[in-house]
Every structure is written in C-alpha cells, then in structure tokens.
Structure 1
Amino acid sequence: MLVTIKQGDFESLNDVSLIWACIEPTITQIRGKSYIVKSEAYATLNPGQRALLMFQVLYGHTSNGIEEFYFHLSYLLSNKDVWSQLKKGMQYFEDFDMLQILEDMDVIFQSMKTEEFKNNTEQRNTLITDIDRNAELFASMNLLNKSFSVTLLSTIQRVAAYIRNNANEFVQLID
C-alpha cells in the first residue's frame, strides 16, 4: 500500500518525519497484533516497504537507552525470520555499516553464556535487568549501543535519501 502524500509535504519533511510518514500506516495496522497478522501485512509490502518496516522496527525500539536496546535486540534475535529480514533490509538500503553492527550483535548475542541465547528462546526469558547483573553483557551492549548510535544518523539519512530518490516505491504523490 502506497501512502498518499502531497508533493510539497514530501519535499519538506525532514528525514525522520519522511520515514515515519511512509511507514506509519503499516505500523498502525500491525502494532499489538499477532505474528500471523504481522506476517500477512508484511507479505503485502513491496521490497522497499519491507526494508523500511524492518528499519523502523529496529529504530523505533532501540534509541531509548541501553536497557531497551538490549531487551529489544534480544527479542528480535529470538526470531530468526525477523532478524534475517532486518539484515535484508539493511542490505536493501546498501547500509553496510549498520549491517556490520547487526552481524556483530548476532555474534555477541550467540556467544553469550546465558540460557536465553544458547537455546534461542522467547523474549519472556530475557529481562531488562539481565544487563545490570552481568558486567560482560553490559560492556558488550554498551559498546554495541555506542556503535549503533554513531551509525544511526547516517542510516536515517541513507534511508530517507533512498525514499526521496525512489518515491514510487513508497508514496503516491498528489498536488
């Protein structure tokens, strides 16, 4: 589903607002819904919209501190299909710096000695407080969070530039 937007609005939106305007209807449709509903909605998107949705899933839940960063990433990593699509999204936007951070996250999470990662279990086994009780985990997540934060601005710029240069994948412009 392409978002209908006025040409002037499209041209004047800042990067974050443009990204949100292009994906907000999909987020609204799937927020709080079952995995099946989310999968069905995902299947209706074109490749650019899929990549944008996966970026928003990452961005929307990882920019509010190290605890949320850890908790959300552990949730994403617990679902290999979602994690795979997230990495495909970064490949789609040719954001190899962010893709490398995701690869690093995968390696660190999988090498953890904690049961939730060794067994690849559900989010319910991952507690935000885990990071406070494990110095090695905190140090790893702190380093990853810093790398992520540094790279995020260029990722936002890259994604927004892609949208502007390929508007027909995301929006229907009107006068």
Structure 2
Amino acid sequence: MEIKLSRKIFNSLEDSQLVRACFDPLIPLIRGKSNKVKEEVYNQLTTEQKKLFIFNAFYNHACNSLAEFYWWSAFYLVQPKIWSELKSALRHFKTDEMLGILLEMEKVTKAQNNPIELEKFDVSYNDLYHNPELYSFVSPLFKKFVDVTQTTLNLIGKAIRNNPTAFILFEE
C-alpha cells in the first residue's frame, strides 16, 4: 500500500517517530471498521508493512495500562495466526527483549486456563484485580514492556530507515 512521506520529513524524524509516521496513515482506514474491511486493508500491505501493522495494532492498545496489556495479550493469544505474526514481526525487527516479554505473557496467560478459542474468549480487564497471583505475574512484565518500548521503537525505526521503500513511497 502506498504510504507517502517526503524525504525531508523522513530524514527529520527520530527512529521512534518514523514508526508512527509509517503506521498512522492506516488508522483512518481501519478505525471503527468491520473485520472484513480491516482484513482488506491488511491484505494490501507489503510484507514489511504487515509486520509494522501487527506490532502497532498490538502495541498501541497494550501500552495504555496494565489491564490493557493483559487483555490484549490474551486476546491476541486466542488468535493463533495473529499471535504468530506478532512474534514473527518482533523476531524480524530483532526486538528480542519485547519478544521475550510476550513469550512470558504467553506462559502466564496459558497458565490461567483462559479460553484458547476466540469464540469462547471471556477475559476481562478486571481479572487482574480479582486475582492477586495473576497480578503479581503480569505487573512486572508490564513494567518491562514499558521499559523496553523506546528501544523497541528505535529498532523498528532503524529497520524502516534501512529499507524505506518497503514501508513508504517517497513523495518528491
């Protein structure tokens, strides 16, 4: 999909800002839309854009709070294709610390005997606050998630900078 950006803006952005600049144009195309529309948009993306998309779709929700980090991790996990794509994207961008955190979340979530099918998904944001043991596992993982965010965004930004035409089209 053609996401246009001027060279001047591209060169002026910090790596973490570049991640947003390459993803933000997609938001109006998917926000509030049906899953069918979202899938159509996703299918128009290049392989690299898909990796960026799946990371941002998760990150932009999970970063808001401990409860959202837990809920979105569990929600992605019951969708094996999406969870696999997220882990693949993190491997591709060489964001090993972030990948490690999500692998730990995978273990924690599975240990809770949460539903493994989307149709039976009943995880609540409040589950953390009603289960002290769960809270004690997830809370430090969320702290790590927050702590490695800037490094992760910088690594992804560097990947974009090293191969810009896989993500954007320069407007002249």
Both proteins in one fold, TM over 0.5: yes
Shift of the 28–70 alpha-carbon distance from structure 1 to 2, 3 Å rule, reads same
2:149 is aligned to 152
Deviation at 1:122, TM superposition (A): 4.8
1:90 is aligned to 90
Shift of the 47–87 alpha-carbon distance from structure 1 to 2, 3 Å rule, reads same
1:17 is aligned to 17
Counterpart residue identity of residue 17, structure 1 = Q
Q: Does 1:7 align with 2:7?
A: yes
Shift of the 122–144 alpha-carbon distance from structure 1 to 2, 3 Å rule, reads farther
1:143 to 140, 145, 166: 140
Aligned partners of 2:145 and 2:102: how far apart in 1? 9
Asked if the contact 2:67–2:128 (Cα under 8 Å) also holds between the matched residues in 1, the reply is yes
Unaligned runs of 5+ residues in structure 1 are: none
| TM-score, structure 1 as length reference | 0.89
Identity of aligned residues (%): 31
Asked if the contact 2:55–2:90 (Cα under 8 Å) also holds between the matched residues in 1, the reply is yes
> SS of the residue aligned with 1:125?
coil
Matches within 5 A, 1:20-99: 20-99=20-99
1:101 is aligned to 101
Counterpart residue identity of residue 87, structure 1 = K
Shift of the 149–110 alpha-carbon distance from structure 1 to 2, 3 Å rule, reads same
Deviation at 1:120, TM superposition (A): 3.7
Asked if the contact 1:2–1:171 (Cα under 8 Å) also holds between the matched residues in 2, the reply is yes
Counterpart residue identity of residue 92, structure 1 = H
| TM-score, structure 2 as length reference | 0.91
Counterpart residue identity of residue 159, structure 2 = Y
Aligned partners of 2:14 and 2:32: how far apart in 1? 27
Shift of the 119–76 alpha-carbon distance from structure 1 to 2, 3 Å rule, reads closer
Asked if the contact 1:75–1:123 (Cα under 8 Å) also holds between the matched residues in 2, the reply is no
Q: Deviations over 1:63-92 (max 9, x none)?
A: 222112112222222211211111111122
Choose 36-45 or 161-170, whichever is displaced more: 36-45
Asked if the contact 1:78–1:122 (Cα under 8 Å) also holds between the matched residues in 2, the reply is no
2:112 is aligned to 112
Q: Deviations over 1:126-145 (max 9, x none)?
A: 21111110001111110210
> SS of the residue aligned with 2:170?
strand
How large is the RMSD of aligned CA atoms in angstroms?
1.8
Counterpart residue identity of residue 148, structure 1 = F
Aligned partners of 1:122 and 1:99: how far apart in 2? 26
Shift of the 42–12 alpha-carbon distance from structure 1 to 2, 3 Å rule, reads same
